[in-house]
Amino acid sequence: MEDLSSAAEARTALEAAGALPDAELDLAGVALQFARIDAPAADWRAAERHLSELARAAVAAAAADPAADGGEVARRVALLAALLHERFGYAGDGETYDSPANANLIEVIRRRRGLPVALGLLWLHAAGAAGWPAHGLDFPGHFLIGLEGARGMAVVDPFHGGRLLEAPELRALLKRMEGEAAELRPAVLEPVSRRAVLLRLQNNIKLRRLQAGDLPAALTCTEDMLRMAPEAAILWREAAVMNQRLDRIGAALACIDRFLALVPRGEAAQRARALAVELRQRLN
């Protein structure tokens, strides 16, 4: 009963987050709510305390380093790397990379291991506490963060200890993600929204449930993502297809209606309307 109450409380928090402007989202706080739902028996209060400890440590470290706090971006990267990876022991999990625990913030904090996006979220949490602008980047396949300084942005790989990436390393990484024909382009270093970071984190849970053949659990995950991101049209379309496969026709139609309200025109809208016609015929 306690677990059900905790999940309900977490979902209420996600719905509240869904009504906030992107800039007001507490990245770590929202990720913690997702984690409570995905791991109801885990000690989320301990994770919450650790996040506070991490924030306090980042504030103290920034205050003790005038060069970093004054805008030297290399010093900022070094300070956060020392804090997260040396002091608190965080590292990328290369051994059990596909474990769902690597995308659950409570488990990431407990194990000090995680996916690039989970570790990147902790970097963003610490940077924000220090008062330093930072954001996720739209890099495919491997989450990176951009940390701002007085003379520009540093690109950081949180999975590999906060390694600084220059153009040659970025080009090589992109080729590993997209193939040898890929070339570095400005779009892959564009900032992404805070919601996009959280959806990228939770998308790992959804995909692993789909790979395991657990469609109902994948749908539940998608529905929780939509609580936090009700304007994410692609998720409404995915929820419609999952509901269709589960023979939940009424729910599938409701999802299509939400999708079409967000995407009323174009090829995707035409396909959605065709699916809606097919589903309504099945109801008759």
pLDDT tens digits, 174-213: 999 999 999 999 999 999 999 999 999 999 999 999 999 9
Which of 83, 104, 134 marks a domain boundary?
134
Residue at 193: amino acid letter: S
Domain containing residue 276: CATH number:
1.25.40.10
Determine the structural domain holding residue 88 and report its residue range.
2-134
Give yes or no: residues 7 and 127 share one domain. Answer: yes
Please tell me the total count of domains within the chain: 2
Which domain-ending residue is among 114, 134, 154?
A: 134
Q: For 227-238, how does the pLDDT look when each residue is reduced to its tens digit (9 = 90+)? A: 999 999 999 999
Whether 205 and 115 share a structural domain: no
Residue 115 within a domain: yes
Last residue of a domain, one of 103, 134, 165: 134
Q: Are residues 120 and 208 in the same domain?
A: no
- Name the nearest CA neighbour of 37 among 71, 88, 3: 3
Domain membership of residue 98 (yes or no) is yes
Structure-block tokens of residue 47: 């994770």
In this structure, are 119 and 21 located in the same domain? yes
| 26 in a structural domain | yes
State pLDDT tens for residues 145-185: 999 999 999 999 999 999 999 999 999 999 999 999 999 99
Cα distance between residue 223 and residue 123, in whole Å: 27
Distance, CA of 163 to CA of 171 (rounded, Å):
15
